[in-house]
Structure 1
Amino acid sequence: MTTDTGKPEMRFTAQKLSISLLFGTTAFLAFAHPNAAWSQNATDINAQNGATSGRDDAIQTRPLVIEGEAVKEAGDSTPPVYAGGQVATGGRAGVLGNKDVMETPFSTTSYTSELIKNQQAQEISDVMDNDPSVVNTSGFGNFANRFTIRGFDLTGDDVSIDGLYGTAPRQSVAVEMFERVEVLKGASAFLNGMAPGSGGLGGSINLVPKRATDDPITSMTGTYGTSSQFGGQVDAGRRFGSDNEFGVRTNLVYRDGEGSIENEERTTQLGAIALDFRGDDARLTFDAGLNKIRVENGRPTVAIGSVTSLPSAPSGSHNFAAEGTFSDLEDKFAQARLEYDVSDSTMLYTAVGAHNSDEAGNYASATLSGSDGSASFGNFANVFERDDVTGTAGVQQTFETGPVKHELNVGTSAMWQEVHQNWSFLTGENGNIYSSGPSGIAFGDPGDPKLSSTSILSSYFLADTLTFLDDKVHLTGGIRRQNVKVRNYTLATGAKSSAYDSSANSPMVSVIGEVTDYLSVYGNYIEGLSQGQTVSDSSATNLGETLAPYKTKQYEIGTKVDFGSFGGGIALFQAEKPSAYLNSSNVFATDGEQRNRGIELTAFGEPVEGIRILGGVTFIDAELVSTENGTNDGNTAPGVPDYQLTFGTEYDLPFLEGATVGARVIHTASQYVNTANTASIPSWTRLDVSARYKTELYNYPVTFQANVENLTDNDYWETASTQTNYITAGAPLTAKFAITANF
């Protein structure tokens, strides 16, 4: 990524750099090595280059800020940053690789590390606050990041790293090691394969690791967040060799202390390394990391039980967590990718990865028993371990048949997963969400984790992109054959309790055409794929049967514009997701359906020099088309607001060079909490503001910044679950401060 300074920036976070770093950065500058590299201002680089950006030479716009130099980048080349620095000009479209947004027949957004740094984002959910098609939610009973994209659920299990499933931390991810957070809206079974958590029906999220740039950079950051959370970051990268062919980039992060919610303490530790080699014919990348998060007294989600008149949200800073609750999350992951050019038209590629997740926690989620906030608090102790091995391999071939160019991609992917877990349920306690959480809960001992399940996901795919009419039209067709094998085991005995083995085809066809130099139109048909249920209802005549995988069918048309310094898009989509229930013939069958129809409008860039915009609005009609006995036919699916708007802007102050102020508004419509539509949470609005000042001390660039989320300190229920009838309280006014020095 690049910063306003014009060069790729790196933030490498030292452990336990606390307030001494935050307020000691200035003093440290005086002793920094005089030959350390520092970044040039983007305005200076633009003036030197004298270049313009945009797709039409007649339009004079500010130059794009491009990452690194014009050399062959390691791995599939990452699209450069767009004007304004908040998003990129493209991103990964699964097996189709990295594509320019104007040549991608899907709605995509790639958020940059410049945005992550400027907004002081700490988790993926912080980045998703910028996206009008994504609703942030939480895991039930734990503190995992979950997302609703175009009205369908996406868990952390279904987040990929550099296009590979199975290596991302499964509950919460510290984003400082990543260059991009990419969102592809819509089903993606063909593009990415079946997601291991059976998500990816409404969209997918891909994380792109940071890599070393041609300019050596060392960046140190001290942070403070309300009410007493201190942290430090250090990010360093260097390239070596006669042609800078070898690269190393490392990131360290440490944060600790009480956040804006009373008595909720979080500790985050991240250590990551990225190695790469870029040769004339071969490119190799290797990424590894350790992601550790501990949450003590985390405020839980709230199940509504049988209550239909929901209580008002408690104070945003109020914590009703039961005493003794905690969650320990540790993820270790590594992956490597190799590309080799056999010839100018043939490339072989492969990627392999491994991941270990180790979790333990005591949880006490609240279930409402009255509209006055009274609730019962459960008692759940859990241990969880999971190992993943994942990989993909294939060949890309380009050739021509007359006036038509082809880009053929043939390959295979596979993921093996083994889960060990154990738990303990004991009697909980009664309490109230408006008072402090119960203190008398005695949590049980879950014991050692036992084998719970094994699964193998494997697939073969074929894709061909045809380009014709002077490269103005791109037509893509493809199919993926997916196989799912699952074995479940009884924890007490270790005996196999059920098995699943099924296959399905996932097709895709799309077209995108350049109408003018600034305007493209596109359309696609693609499917999502999720594991079918094994019938366990004893009253079903097909008890024990394994249903075929569920196919979510999506149709989408849209248009995209790019005027060089700002752009946007409009997408109209319909997705039909099947569901299963016991029908009138006592057969448990896939007779249900949820149909989401919507329109999505987005805008981004720097339409006027010094003014940047980012955001949009999404309208969704999420209808339960077919439900058991028709009881809820025509109702709105839970957890899906009719519309969501998010819009942010930044303004460089003309009277104070280096100073920038910003604001962002997020507005979410009301959401139903259950399929009967008898309970709902009201709409809410949040205002965020920011300010930063870039200057030089002792000839070194230094940035002072402040970000305030929920400036008006509103109390609100932030989101309702799409599946399990629970709601999550919004965070209170949260202030974050940082000082960053580049050496």
Structure 2
Amino acid sequence: MSAVSTECASLRLRSWVYLGLVMGLSVSPLAISTSYAQEVERRSYAVPAGELGAALTRFAGQAGVSLSVDPALMQGRRSEGLSGSYSVEEGFARLLQGSGLQLQPVRAGGYTLVAAPAQSAALQIAPITVVGVSPQLASGERYAGGQVTMQTSQGMLGSRDFMDTPFSATTYTSETAQNQNARTLLDLIANDPSVRSTNPAGGRFEQFTIRGFSLFNTDVAFNGLYGVLPTYSIDMEMADRVDVIKGPSQLINGISPRGAVGGGINLVSKRAADTPLTEFTGSYASNSQVGGALDVGRRFGEDNRFGLRFNGVRQAGDTEWDHQHVDREMAVLGLDYRGERVRLGADIGHTERDTDAPQERVLIGAAAPIPDADRVNDNYAQAWSKARTEDTFAAFNGEYDINEDLLFYGAAGVRESDHDFLRHNVSIINEAGDFNVQPRDFTRDESVRTATAGLRSWLQTGPVSHELNLAASYFYMDFTNGGARYATGPSNLYDPVPTPAPGAPTRIDNEVYTENRFSGVALADTLGFMDDRLLVTLGARWQRVKVDDWTNGIKGETAYDEEKVSPSVGVVYRLAPEVSIYANYMEGLSQGKIAPSTSINEDEIFAPFVSRQVEVGAKYDRGDVGVTLSAFRIRQPAYETDAATGVFGPNGKRENRGIELSTFGEPWQGVRLLGGLMYIDSELTATNDPTEDGNRAPATPEYSVNLGAEWDVPAVRGLTLTARGIHSSSQYLDQANSKKIDGWERYDLGARYAFAAAGKDVTLRASVENVLDDRSWISAGASDDSAAGLTLSAPRTYLLSATIGF
């Protein structure tokens, strides 16, 4: 980069910072006259009819106030909603009409609900904060049916109702994970048609695609911070909810460690509620995995300001695959403080996961056809192979209300990880399914430091409202890769052959040390027109990506230091209280790809690249069912390992054009739906081989469908039956479109029964995944990185759990 361009970028950055500070200071009460404040006291609201708790939460979010309630008061109550111009008190009164409840101010901008005196003047209320400024510190209100929340965490933009969000997003609750016996993130994302797993369930690590583009666990954020969560597998017991955001999301959280562009996933940690919680869950997973999980929450001090939440898990035993054993442990402690102007949170966690005989993707040689998945009945991983991962992490966040119109927030996180693998590739060389077992000892040590800070302010300029956000972020990660190779032995995919455990190494791999530094400054303004029926978000993020690497202590030649300004625009318009339409344009800078171990240029780092998305959509919220329909287009460079030379590198560009439909809620009393479908038309252009131009990008199914349903059996109170179907159409393995895997389906069934025994709440759950025990290739890898290879479906798996509340 030239000195002139560097100076220009520096001047742009200083100008944005200065402009952001001026805007932030302009919202001081001294800059707004009293008469003007009185003029904007009333504003327009649109809240659809539905459950009372959902309606109140939505109104409080639109009004920018906090609301505290006892959930017991909400049960069985509904609201007719409202549409029109109201003051805060008038709006609450309209929503509460006929409910037997009334509003009670507790502080500036804060309210609670109590029973009306005519019903119970002596009723004592234990408030629970359900709406606040921070998505990290406030629990999201559950949508009808309890499977998703109405609000989605959006990083520097705060937490917003899904109807006021200019992109497609779904937030899954901890209840969904628990009721589905979801152990890791891989289990939970089976609900989303836009997300697919690209690594075996019994493998060394989890990896996904969103809208056809890869997303690693490192790209999964924790309370808005990247790189804090464990690298290879994320336990669901630590999450209160999981946000799945579609499309490039660098504006809201900054650049992710592996540069995910199809979307982002964010885990929100659990926090203690005002009601004491002590739950123990015993679990079983076939073949013989037995475990237990403890969830404890308490609040202390005046007004329950201090909170403690602990989640611990231990599960161990054999899986359905031969000689495969999994042992996982997790302990996460969540602490928080909620004052009138200060809110603080901290999470400290440690996880360990040991897997014997983990499965690998199946690589296909140039002369080999696609293997027959129906014939793969035994674990093709050697019994001596293993995966050992250990992660220790901590995250801290806080908010401070400088005044009623200006908020400061910040967060920081750290992680230390040690990973040790003894593995081998499964590279099929012929039609018979033969492959050579070459043991490889692979170690990886990681260290992460990350932080973000920002200002959020609200002001009014004439008829236009503004929510201004200024944020800065920094991410640092270093890691060391090392290992050794051992003598090979023959085996077969259909009839695995045991080979001796590795002895003396035949080759010591190079030790590769890499440092990643990502920094950025972002500025965004959400403008509200027509009483906020029209919301326009204009934003930009300056990003710098600096990567350095050393091999055996010698500085590498592929390091780089790049920077770019990425603009973003989002528009939402409320056609009616229950209907909104939206559009967005987003750009994202991503870290360059890294050549895989299967290429001859292993660990080569490529330059950063830019991805671009255009999306339009519509959302419908009936109060008890929500629907999002969107059409999108995402462009980015394509990468591939050349079959002839074995060199990994750029090979043209790819464009994914798609349509996405998602739905959730309880359309009929006692019947809940969750799922949707996605269609993608993926095309390659400007490839190294002109005959491949116009081909479909590999590992990208044309259709993906997920639909889950729950039914509360009327005749048996507390009994719920569940079912889910998942489908993906065929996928190509290579850019030449010469090899293809068939489409596949998976069906799951389950039931749960909730009851009280000896004064304790008990819930029993049973589910069967892959009821038909179908053997299929469910993924051809991740099309935009090095992960070409087939993923085998998990066999039929039985899951049982019992939760007891003390």
TM interval, shorter chain, is 0.7 to 0.9
- Which moves more between the two structures, 78-87 or 126-135? 78-87
1:574 aligns with 2:633: yes
- Aligned twin of 2:258: 197
Please report the TM-score for the alignment, with normalisation by the length of structure 2: 0.81
1:391 aligns with 2:451: yes
Question: How many angstroms apart in 2 are the aligned matches of 1:637 and 1:591?
Answer: 11
Please give the per-residue CA displacement for 1:646-676, whole angstroms capped at 9, x wherever unaligned: 0010000000000000100001101111111
Amino acid across the alignment from 2:177: I
- Which moves more between the two structures, 173-182 or 248-257? 173-182
- Which moves more between the two structures, 378-387 or 516-525? 378-387
Greater C-alpha radius of gyration:
2
1:52 aligns with 2:113: no
Change (3 A) 1:614 1:428: same
Change (3 A) 1:444 1:680: farther
Question: How many angstroms apart in 1 are the aligned matches of 2:98 and 2:495?
Answer: 56
Please give the per-residue CA displacement for 1:347-388, whole angstroms capped at 9, x wherever unaligned: 111111101111001011200111222222232111110101
Q: How does 1:365-444 map to 2 (within 5 A)?
A: 365-442=425-502
SS in 1 for 2:798: strand
SS in 1 for 2:692: coil
Give structure 1 stretches of 5+ with no counterpart: 7-39, 537-544
Q: CA deviation at 1:71?
A: 6.2
- Aligned twin of 2:798: 735
Amino acid across the alignment from 1:292: E
- Aligned twin of 2:153: 92
Amino acid across the alignment from 2:628: G
Aligned-residue Cα RMSD (Å) equals 3.1
Is 1:141–1:363's contact at 8 Å kept on the other side of the alignment?
no
1:252 aligns with 2:279: no
- Aligned twin of 2:541: 480
Is 1:380–1:444's contact at 8 Å kept on the other side of the alignment?
no
Question: How many angstroms apart in 1 are the aligned matches of 2:780 and 2:411?
Answer: 37
| 753, 756, 764: which one aligns with 1:704 | 764
Question: How many angstroms apart in 1 are the aligned matches of 2:735 and 2:99?
Answer: 50
| 395, 403, 411: which one aligns with 1:335 | 395
Q: How does 1:556-595 map to 2 (within 5 A)?
A: 556-579=615-638, 592-595=652-655
Question: How many angstroms apart in 2 are the aligned matches of 1:557 and 1:425?
Answer: 50
SS in 2 for 1:732: coil
Please give the per-residue CA displacement for 1:316-353, whole angstroms capped at 9, x wherever unaligned: 76211113100000111101011101000011111111
Question: How many angstroms apart in 1 are the aligned matches of 2:313 and 2:98?
Answer: 37
Q: CA deviation at 1:464?
A: 0.5
- Aligned twin of 1:113: 174
- Aligned twin of 2:15: none
Question: How many angstroms apart in 1 are the aligned matches of 2:214 and 2:376?
Answer: 25
1:550 aligns with 2:580: no
- Aligned twin of 1:103: 164
Q: CA deviation at 1:140?
A: 12
- Aligned twin of 2:513: 452
Change (3 A) 1:68 1:143: farther
1:490 aligns with 2:570: no
| 135, 142, 152: which one aligns with 2:196 | 135
- Aligned twin of 1:35: none
SS in 2 for 1:243: helix
Change (3 A) 1:715 1:72: closer
Question: How many angstroms apart in 1 are the aligned matches of 2:594 and 2:171?
Answer: 37
- Aligned twin of 1:236: 296
Change (3 A) 1:308 1:99: farther
Question: How many angstroms apart in 2 are the aligned matches of 1:306 and 1:297?
Answer: 26
Q: CA deviation at 1:451?
A: 5.8
- Aligned twin of 1:21: none
- Aligned twin of 1:720: 780
Q: How does 1:641-680 map to 2 (within 5 A)?
A: 641-680=701-740
Is 2:483–2:511's contact at 8 Å kept on the other side of the alignment?
no
Amino acid across the alignment from 2:357: N
Amino acid across the alignment from 2:715: F
Question: How many angstroms apart in 1 are the aligned matches of 2:398 and 2:508?
Answer: 42
| 301, 309, 327: which one aligns with 2:369 | 309
Percent identity between matched residues is 37
Structure with the higher helix share, 1 or 2: 2
Q: CA deviation at 1:567?
A: 1.0
Please give the per-residue CA displacement for 1:469-520, whole angstroms capped at 9, x wherever unaligned: 01111100111010011111012x4445542111011110010010001100
Q: CA deviation at 1:531?
A: 2.5
Q: CA deviation at 1:154?
A: 0.6
1:463 aligns with 2:529: no
Question: How many angstroms apart in 2 are the aligned matches of 1:236 and 1:449?
Answer: 46
Is 1:582–1:628's contact at 8 Å kept on the other side of the alignment?
no
SS in 1 for 2:178: helix
| 330, 346, 357: which one aligns with 1:270 | 330
Question: How many angstroms apart in 2 are the aligned matches of 1:582 and 1:175?
Answer: 34
| 525, 529, 540: which one aligns with 2:589 | 529
Q: CA deviation at 1:448?
A: 11
- Which moves more between the two structures, 94-103 or 638-647? 94-103
Question: How many angstroms apart in 2 are the aligned matches of 1:382 and 1:546?
Answer: 19
What is the number of equivalent residue pairs in this alignment? Answer: 690
Q: How does 1:66-81 map to 2 (within 5 A)?
A: 69-70=128-129, 75-76=134-135, 77-81=138-142
Please give the per-residue CA displacement for 1:174-211, whole angstroms capped at 9, x wherever unaligned: 11011011100011122221111122x10111011111
SS in 2 for 1:157: helix
Is 1:228–1:257's contact at 8 Å kept on the other side of the alignment?
yes
SS in 2 for 1:631: helix
| 687, 691, 700: which one aligns with 1:640 | 700
Is 1:73–1:278's contact at 8 Å kept on the other side of the alignment?
no
Q: CA deviation at 1:309?
A: 2.3
Question: How many angstroms apart in 2 are the aligned matches of 1:715 and 1:54?
Answer: 49
Amino acid across the alignment from 1:554: Q
- Aligned twin of 1:11: none
- Aligned twin of 2:116: none
Q: CA deviation at 1:168?
A: 1.1
Amino acid across the alignment from 2:78: A
1:218 aligns with 2:278: yes
- Aligned twin of 1:227: 287
Question: How many angstroms apart in 1 are the aligned matches of 2:155 and 2:98?
Answer: 31
Amino acid across the alignment from 2:802: I
Amino acid across the alignment from 2:567: P
- Aligned twin of 1:19: none
Question: How many angstroms apart in 1 are the aligned matches of 2:354 and 2:488?
Answer: 23
Change (3 A) 1:461 1:417: same
Amino acid across the alignment from 1:287: D
Q: CA deviation at 1:142?
A: 5.6
- Aligned twin of 1:145: 206
Question: How many angstroms apart in 1 are the aligned matches of 2:377 and 2:747?
Answer: 16
SS in 2 for 1:383: strand
SS in 2 for 1:127: helix
Is 2:152–2:159's contact at 8 Å kept on the other side of the alignment?
yes
Is 1:390–1:416's contact at 8 Å kept on the other side of the alignment?
yes
Is 1:54–1:565's contact at 8 Å kept on the other side of the alignment?
no
Please give the per-residue CA displacement for 1:75-122, whole angstroms capped at 9, x wherever unaligned: 433431100010110211232121110010010000000000000001
- Which moves more between the two structures, 684-693 or 309-318? 309-318
Change (3 A) 1:59 1:238: closer
Greater RCO (Cα-Cα under 8 Å, separation 6 or more):
1
Q: CA deviation at 1:125?
A: 0.9
